[in-house]
Amino acid sequence: MSLRVLFTALVVVTAFVLWVAAGTASATVLISEAGVHTGSLIAESEGHVVLDNPVGKIECASKVEGKVESHGEAVTAGGNISNLAFTSCTSGWHVTVVSPGSLEVHWTSGANGTITSSGATVGATVGGIACNYKTNSTDLGTLTGGSPATLDINASIPFHNGSIFCGTSNTLWTGSYKITSPEELFVVQNADLPNFDLTVPPESFPEGVEVQVELIDQISKMEYTVEKVIVKSIKGKWEAFEVANCENQKVPIQKEAGHVICKMKVKCLAKGDEAKIEVPSIWATGKVNYAYKAACL
């Protein structure tokens, strides 16, 4: 059996994904115009938000800044808030943030999800009366995916401590925020992402041998389009030729694994050379760029 036939017949393995791992376990992922979003998030109130406690109704402008620090297979998207501010409050109220806490996003349906907050401590003072409230896995409201995405707050924030005039009941936080960065944001399940395999393990390219590579889609839950399959040399020289159906290829929903999306032949020239096989894809809620590390043996 020739090396070419041998390597083409190798069992399908899960490729090493550099930019995003598309697993089968359910989890929440945020998608922006750049792909799976792991950067900063900035949201600004649309008009005033309202904090309604027993002492009075407080209306303020507000801004939230944070960063997505967790996401992926079997992980909920979330991260710490670096800045939570309430400014220009009405009726002489001053709202200060002792701790901004952290947020988690939980997918619900479509490109939307719910937001929960933990560890955020907010104090409201007026005329010597101070009321403090603290979140603890508190449901804040709905994140609606779009360009831009919006955050609709309708939350009951637990009383923490303060003046006897504050009572002990929760304060109601309502209002709407617009996500200003990134410009578009969507909430999806990680299991809905395309799940690619290669017929040749990425590190199994023999020196100087033409190897046929097939890009195979495992079970996917939505239609998407493979823009183009690209082989980029990191070290040394790699060649890709006889590419078939690897550009602007629309892939329907797959109920069974093993759908061949496209085929190509790849050759590396010297042992130790490295390349990256990229699969930029567009689907209903954004763009995902998969990348597989390839090594010449």
| 254-287 per-position pLDDT tens digit | 666 677 888 888 888 888 888 888 888 776 555 6
- Answer positive or negative: Cα dihedral of 244, 248, 250, 254: positive
Considering only residues 3 and 178, tell me which one the structure prediction assigns the higher pLDDT.
178
**Mean pLDDT lowest among 25-29, 147-151, 183-187, 191-195:** 191-195
**Mean pLDDT lowest among 15-19, 240-244, 277-281:** 15-19
Give dist(CA 215, CA 277) in Å, integer.
10
Considering only residues 241 and 79, tell me which one the structure prediction assigns the higher pLDDT.
79
**Mean pLDDT lowest among 43-57, 65-79, 106-120:** 65-79
| 79-120 per-position pLDDT tens digit | 999 999 999 999 999 999 999 999 999 988 877 899 999 999
Token pair of 87 as six digits? 């400014």
Of the CA atoms within 13 Å of residue 100, those in its CB half-sphere come to 15
CB within 8 A of 175, min separation 6: which ones? 45, 46, 47, 48, 49, 50, 62, 153
Strand intervals (E) in 5-76: 28-32, 35-36, 40-45, 49-52, 57-67
User: CA angle 164-120-72, nearest 5°?
Assistant: 155
Determine the average pLDDT of the residues in 139-151.
Answer: 93
Closest CA to 36 of 75, 65, 64, 63: 75
Q: What is residue 146's predicted lDDT score, i.e. its pLDDT?
A: 85
Phi, psi of 55 (to 5 degrees): -80, -35
Q: What is residue 221's predicted lDDT score, i.e. its pLDDT?
A: 59
Give dist(CA 97, CA 10) in Å, integer.
58
**Mean pLDDT lowest among 28-37, 54-63, 114-123, 230-239:** 28-37
Q: What is residue 129's predicted lDDT score, i.e. its pLDDT?
A: 94
Neighbour order of strands in the sheet with 159-162: 94-99, 121-126, 129-134, 159-162
Q: What is residue 89's predicted lDDT score, i.e. its pLDDT?
A: 96
CB within 8 A of 12, min separation 6: which ones? 197, 198, 199, 216
Q: What is residue 80's predicted lDDT score, i.e. its pLDDT?
A: 95
Q: What is residue 95's predicted lDDT score, i.e. its pLDDT?
A: 96
Q: pTM of the predicted model, to two decimals? A: 0.63
In this structure, the chain runs to a length of 297
Considering only residues 257 and 61, tell me which one the structure prediction assigns the higher pLDDT.
61
CB within 8 A of 2, min separation 6: which ones? none
List 43's β-bridge partners, or say none. Answer: 64, 179
CA distances from 69 to 33, 87, 101, 125, 139 (A): 18, 27, 13, 33, 19
